[in-house]
Amino acid sequence: MLTAQTTLLQNPLALALESLRGIAIRFVAVINLADVYYDAKAAPSIVLDVHPQAVLSTVYFQNIFCLRPEQTHSIGVQVALGDTDATNIVIYASSVGDNALRLLAARITPPPVALPRPDDPTPRKPPLLLHAKGRDLFPPKPQFKVPAVPAKTLKRKLSQVELEVGPTIERKNKDIVKGIVVRSIPTHLLPKTHPEYKEVFNWIYRGVCFAMRADIKLKPVNEENASRLARVHVGMYVQGADGRKGPI
């Protein structure tokens, strides 16, 4: 019911509640009154009357407001009118006499912003604490965050000895094998102008390198052993090199 200072048509919350007569309101949360702004001071008070036959509602409000007297006037029950959270009200307790309480209802609204006076030379900042429904009305400004720098992985530099043992030794060994293969091919049997010279040379070179694959990357090759392997491959691919008939 409304106080005597106003009428039904002058109170938006009273009109909303009247339009929902007979329809159950939806519970949202138990909140601290200090965290929200409600229009109890700006609008006349609306007294909430619980029907005598609504036993569960009576017991619920008694448990909320009567079991812990130190919280009676600091908490409220937030409910929503309808299926959405567009309109929220808070139900809170007010003392009547020494041992009695009455339930009041008020809308949860944004707090009023105090505008600076025209004659005030220093503009006033709007209040920082703006809460409604337990959340900030205005989202906080995005803060710039410095992106995380990926951790650097330390790579160990190869020593001079490792560099020489690596590709340098292998390159030198392959150059030596190429020279041995060139000298091992009899030019009178297979001159460099022969159309198959390059293909035969490559097969002999690959065969010798494959046969010496265990040591060619680690230490200087044994030229005598490389020459022996080259002669074996020449006898396989060059006709007449070893006194026998070969493929060419």
Tens of pLDDT, residues 100-151: 888 888 888 777 777 667 676 665 565 555 444 444 445 556 665 666 666 6
What the block records as the tokens of 193 is 């102008």
pLDDT for residue 1: 47
* Run of H or E residues at 48: strand 46-48
* Run of H or E residues at 102: strand 101-107
Characterise 134 by phi-psi region: left (phi > 0), alpha (psi -120 to 50), beta (else). left
User: Smallest Cα–Cα separation from 109: which of 180, 201, 43, 30?
Assistant: 43
What the block records as the tokens of 161 is 């000895």
Residue 3 has pLDDT above 60, yes or no: no
Task: Return d(Cα 227, Cα 185) in angstroms, integer.
Answer: 11
Beta bridge partners of 201: none
What the block records as the tokens of 43 is 């609008």
Task: Return d(Cα 4, Cα 229) in angstroms, integer.
Answer: 119
Mean pLDDT of 203-219: 87
* CB distance 168 to 220 below 8 Å: no
Beta bridge partners of 77: 30, 91
- First-to-last CA distance in the chain? 118
Average confidence score pLDDT of the chain = 75
Task: Return d(Cα 202, Cα 231) in angstroms, integer.
Answer: 14
pLDDT for residue 173: 86
User: Smallest Cα–Cα separation from 94: which of 110, 81, 106?
Assistant: 106
230 vs 19, higher pLDDT:
230
The letter for the amino acid at 228 is R
Task: Return d(Cα 51, Cα 118) in angstroms, integer.
Answer: 51
Task: Return d(Cα 20, Cα 7) in angstroms, integer.
Answer: 18
Task: Return d(Cα 166, Cα 29) in angstroms, integer.
Answer: 73
For residue 225, what are the CA distances in angstroms to 3, 62, 169?
A: 116, 104, 17
The torsion defined by the Cα of 213, 215, 217 and 221, in degrees rounded to 10, comes to -110
Q: What is the pLDDT of residues 213-247, one digit of tens each?
A: 888 888 888 889 889 888 888 888 887 765 544 44
What the block records as the tokens of 20 is 């929902």
pLDDT for residue 44: 60
